[in-house]
Amino acid sequence: MSTAAPLPAHRLFSPARVGAIARNTLTELTRQKVFYLLLLFGLLLIGSSVLLVRFSFQDQFQMLKDISLGAMSIFGSLLAILATAAMLPRDIEERTLYTILAKPVPRVEYVLGKFLGIAGMLACALFLMGLLFLLILFVRERGVEAEMAASLSGDAAALAAQIETLRAQVFHPNLLAAGLTIFAKTCVLAALTLFVSTFATSQIFTVFIVTTAYFIGHFQATAREYWQAMGGAAWSKAFAGFVAILFPDLQIFNLVDEIAVGVAVPLALLGKTLVLGGFYVLIYLLAAQLVFAQKEL
Amino acid sequence: MTPAISIRHLSKVFPVPFRRERVVAVEDLSLEVAPGQVYGLLGPNGSGKSTTMKMVLGLVPPTRGQVEVFGVDADRVESRVAVGFLPENPYFQKFLTGTETVAFFGRLAGVPKRDLRDRARELLRLVGLEEAADRRLSGYSKGMLQRIGLAQALVQEPRLLVLDEPTAGVDPAGSRDIKDLILKFKDRGITVLLCSHLLAQVQEICDRIGILHRGRLVCEGPLAELIEKRAQTELVLENAPAGLLAEIEAAVGRHEGARLLHRRHPQASLEEFFLTVTGDEKKP
């Protein structure tokens, strides 16, 4: 081996390296105990579907969608925050970060790979939750169909019409839009958590900061509207602007609530929400990279 | 020839949070490691060894001075293209198998996907983990983890190996295997920067050493020269009869200034003795 030869060529950015880190992160995350939150989700859903039987079928489906989408949003957010907050401190503590960065891996690829791994885990988790939700919805819907068939046994045409209406109401394509919106929201929270963990001194601190941001993010738009309606002073407007930049406006993802109550969501509005979510993710990842690039390990 | 590692006037100062104090971890360190050399960086705990190593790997930026790896600034990612690193007590993801672990690091180091499996198998054979290749790391012993660490460090056929306490927690037989491997790397022209507390081991394998104390390089040079006792001479005789030994002693006594300090049978090292007793002694 000649030691005087020039160094081999190095690619400044390699999707293969990012992919390797993302796959590794995804595998690691799916084996963590935090993933057991999915079991809680399942229990909540099955429990509520049993309790809702006493209501009229319209109310049943309405409440089931409300509970399921709300739970998907909350459990997805919890997963995003808890799993991401633990990731970087663990890699530093266990020194796996050194082994990775001692290879020719730029830090931006590490940040990106980690985020994509988390996003993959969130997609898997939400997909599983969504699947369970649809399964329970399907079982309940078949139950209601059977009840309809029993009550309208003589009138086949009326029965067919009612079943068609029922199916259209229950399995509306907007449910997919709700899933995408929840995924976008959890990705924003994961990117924010990743950013905070690059400078946080402990995991608890990261969780505390992001949880605070979560609540501020849910109320900041209302506060901003209130301040604007009050015609407040320049300082209050400036403060509202500062908060809007610093914390994600999570109210944009409240689209899910509207979908749950059956409001049709236009494609343009869904697109705008997803683009805004993507914009937040980009901003937080850039901020994470800026801090992480300077971090002394 | 471009040095494998070139360190010039390197200093690292860490600020203490919420205080005006600063901790000087490394101060005005200059040294060079020639290609193909096994260089031992020694020093007590807190002497600045790890910080120096991290600066060589580009994990920590220097406060002052410069580090170059094969002529490339250590701050640049390209400097690590031909560098393999084994951290002290390496920890890898326990859910991966030996092959998967090496393949993962191979992917990061730019080994083509089609070659990954073969490369991983070859390295696992080299470090003696062939039979455990498909076992999860959760079932590996400390010594096996150290070997897998060595395998991942070698995955891109590095020209420089940075080893931090490579035999920490490894039993004497495993420790000897690792030592033999390092000597094998040296034969293949790989430069090795070794940080270790095991001075006997360093003495056996290093060509050159540097001793750090409180962040400063207090001694540096070829190992043989540094530890040589120039005023003394060692003769080791085999099957010498008592008469011959008496003649030698008498001859020594006739020369003014010369004196026999001690006469004894040479001793095996404790490591050699242990390996003989446990049956792991290797045939030369």
Asked whether residue B271 falls in the same domain as residue B131, the answer is no
pLDDT tens digits along B214-244: 999 998 888 888 877 778 888 889 999 999 9
Q: Is residue B64 part of a domain?
A: yes
Q: Provide the percentage of residues in chain B whose pLDDT is more than 70.
A: 98
The whole-angstrom separation of Cα B7 and Cα B64 is 11
Asked whether residue B164 falls in the same domain as residue B273, the answer is no
Given an 8 Å threshold on Cβ–Cβ distance, is B105 in contact with A98?
no
The whole-angstrom separation of Cα A190 and Cα A87 is 11
How large is the ipTM?
A: 0.82
Given an 8 Å threshold on Cβ–Cβ distance, is B1 in contact with A4?
yes
Give B88 to chain A, closest Cα distance, Å.
9
Contacts of B109 in chain A (CB under 8 A): 103-104
Given an 8 Å threshold on Cβ–Cβ distance, is A3 in contact with B89?
no
Evaluate the CA torsion angle B88, B94, B97, B101 in order and state its sign: negative
Given an 8 Å threshold on Cβ–Cβ distance, is A24 in contact with B104?
yes
Mean pLDDT of B251-259: 89
The whole-angstrom separation of Cα B155 and Cα B103 is 8
Which has more pLDDT, B102 or B263?
B102
Question: B187 to chain A: nearest residue by CA?
Answer: A1
The whole-angstrom separation of Cα A165 and Cα A53 is 20
Give B239 to chain A, closest Cα distance, Å.
43
Per-residue confidence at B257, pLDDT binned at 50, 70, 90?
Answer: confident
The whole-angstrom separation of Cα B122 and Cα B128 is 10
Contacts of B97 in chain A (CB under 8 A): none
> Going residue by residue through chain A (297 aa), what tens digit of pLDDT does each one get?
444 455 567 778 889 999 999 999 998 888 877 777 777 887 887 787 777 767 777 777 888 888 888 888 999 999 999 999 999 998 888 888 999 999 999 999 999 999 999 999 999 999 998 998 889 888 888 888 888 787 777 777 777 887 887 777 777 778 888 999 999 999 999 999 999 999 998 899 999 999 999 988 888 777 777 766 766 667 777 777 777 767 888 888 888 788 777 777 888 989 999 999 999 999 999 999 999 998 888
Q: Is residue B165 part of a domain?
A: yes
The whole-angstrom separation of Cα A120 and Cα A114 is 10
Q: Does A65 touch chain B (CB under 8 A)?
A: no
Q: Is residue B233 part of a domain?
A: no
The whole-angstrom separation of Cα B40 and Cα B89 is 18
pLDDT tens digits along B73-112: 999 999 999 999 998 888 888 889 999 999 999 999 988 8
Q: Are B182 and B192 in contact (CB under 8 A)?
A: yes
The whole-angstrom separation of Cα A124 and Cα A130 is 10
Asked whether residue B134 falls in the same domain as residue B263, the answer is no
Question: B93 to chain A: nearest residue by CA?
Answer: A28
Q: Is residue B234 part of a domain?
A: no
Best probe of the B interface among A14, A103, A109, by most B CBs < 10 A, is: A103
Given an 8 Å threshold on Cβ–Cβ distance, is B191 in contact with A17?
no
Q: Is residue B67 part of a domain?
A: yes
Domain count for chain B: 2
Mean pLDDT of B124-132: 90
Give chain B's mean pLDDT: 88
Residue from the list A7, A102, A297 with its beta carbon closest to the beta carbon of B78 = A7
The whole-angstrom separation of Cα B49 and Cα B162 is 12
CA R_g for chain B: 23
Say what the pLDDT of residue A51 is: 77
Q: Are A22 and A113 in contact (CB under 8 A)?
A: yes
Given an 8 Å threshold on Cβ–Cβ distance, is A20 in contact with B83?
no
Given an 8 Å threshold on Cβ–Cβ distance, is A104 in contact with B109?
yes
Asked whether residue B134 falls in the same domain as residue B260, the answer is no
- A 99-118 residues with CB < 8 A to B: 99-106
Given an 8 Å threshold on Cβ–Cβ distance, is A104 in contact with B77?
yes
The whole-angstrom separation of Cα A208 and Cα A10 is 40
Asked whether residue B22 falls in the same domain as residue B110, the answer is yes
Asked whether residue B123 falls in the same domain as residue B156, the answer is yes
Angle of helix A57-93 relative to helix A203-230, nearest 10 degrees, comes to: 130
Q: Is residue B282 part of a domain?
A: no
Say what the pLDDT of residue A1 is: 43
Structure tokens at B169: 């927690």
The whole-angstrom separation of Cα B9 and Cα A88 is 32
What is the domain-level CATH number for residue B180? 3.40.50.300
If you count residue pairs, one on A and one on B, with CB atoms under 8 Å apart, how many are there? Answer: 106
Question: B79 to chain A: nearest residue by CA?
Answer: A104
Is the per-residue pLDDT at B283 higher than 80? no
Question: A23 to chain B: nearest residue by CA?
Answer: B104
Q: Is residue B272 part of a domain?
A: yes
Given an 8 Å threshold on Cβ–Cβ distance, is B4 in contact with A7?
no
Question: A94 to chain B: nearest residue by CA?
Answer: B91
Is the per-residue pLDDT at B33 higher than 50? yes
Given an 8 Å threshold on Cβ–Cβ distance, is A99 in contact with B92?
yes
Residue from the list A3, A27, A98 with its beta carbon closest to the beta carbon of B191 = A3
Asked whether residue B166 falls in the same domain as residue B64, the answer is yes
Q: Identify the CA nearest to A75 among candidates A151, A133, A155.
A: A133
Per the structure, the complete domain to which residue B121 belongs is given by 5-227
Say what the pLDDT of residue A7 is: 56
Mean pLDDT of B162-168: 88
Asked whether residue B259 falls in the same domain as residue B195, the answer is no
Asked whether residue B86 falls in the same domain as residue B194, the answer is yes
Residue from the list B107, B156, B191 with its beta carbon closest to the beta carbon of A17 = B107
Q: Is residue B192 part of a domain?
A: yes
Is the per-residue pLDDT at B277 higher than 80? no
Given an 8 Å threshold on Cβ–Cβ distance, is A297 in contact with B190?
no
Asked whether residue B168 falls in the same domain as residue B145, the answer is yes
Asked whether residue B65 falls in the same domain as residue B131, the answer is yes
Contacts of B189 in chain A (CB under 8 A): 1-3
Given an 8 Å threshold on Cβ–Cβ distance, is B60 in contact with A99?
no
B28: left (phi over 0), alpha (psi -120 to 50) or beta: left
Strand partners for B191: B160
Which has more pLDDT, B58 or A46?
B58
Given an 8 Å threshold on Cβ–Cβ distance, is B85 in contact with A24?
no
Given an 8 Å threshold on Cβ–Cβ distance, is B78 in contact with A24?
no
- A 1-20 residues with CB < 8 A to B: 1-4, 7-8, 10-12, 14, 16-17, 20
Strand partners for B84: B161
Evaluate the CA torsion angle A282, A288, A294, A297 in order and state its sign: negative
Choose the weakest-confidence range: A201-205, B34-38, B179-183, B226-230. B226-230
Is the per-residue pLDDT at B129 higher than 80? yes
Say what the pLDDT of residue B190 is: 93
